[in-house]
């Protein structure tokens, strides 16, 4: 997976299959301006949009979710000195919750 942002990833996928912002936004039941802001990186996408986005853009849901998570963590916590340790601790917490 490349280093492009989640928004750039979604825009590229949308343009590859020649879908307009309006059509994708309607599928997600959001304003066109909201989707445009997500594509530009001015706004985070809601996790609720990931499955419908994957479906309309004909993308693998795992890849969409992975790109979303990586971009969000990078933007929100990328400058933190102990990010890797925090990610490991979060992974352990998630594993405990799944048991």
- Of residues 3 and 87, the one with the higher pLDDT is 87
Closest CA to 31 of 18, 17, 46, 16: 46
Most confident of 59-63, 90-94, 95-99: 59-63
The Cα 80–Cα 90 span in angstroms is 15
Contacts of residue 4, Cβ cutoff 8 Å, sequence gap at least 6 = 12
The Cα 86–Cα 88 span in angstroms is 5
Closest CA to 27 of 61, 59, 51, 63: 51
List, as own/partner pairs, every contact residues 47-51 make where C-beta atoms lie below 8 angstroms and the sequence separation is at least 24, other chains included: none
Q: Is residue 1's pLDDT more than 80? A: no
The pTM is what?
Answer: 0.85
Mean pLDDT of the 82-90 span: 94
Closest CA to 49 of 32, 79, 25, 71: 25
């Amino acid at each position: 997976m490349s280093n492009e942002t989640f928004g750039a990833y979604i825009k590229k996928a949308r343009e590859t299959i020649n879908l307009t912002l309006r059509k994708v936004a309607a599928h997600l039941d959001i304003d066109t301006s909201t989707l445009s802001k997500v594509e530009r990186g001015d706004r985070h996408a809601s996790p609720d949009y990931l499955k419908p986005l994957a479906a309309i853009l004909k993308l693998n849901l795992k890849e969409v979710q992975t790109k979303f998570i990586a971009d969000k963590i990078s933007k929100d916590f990328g400058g933190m000195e102990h990010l890797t340790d925090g990610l490991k601790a979060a992974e352990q917490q998630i594993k405990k919750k799944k048991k």
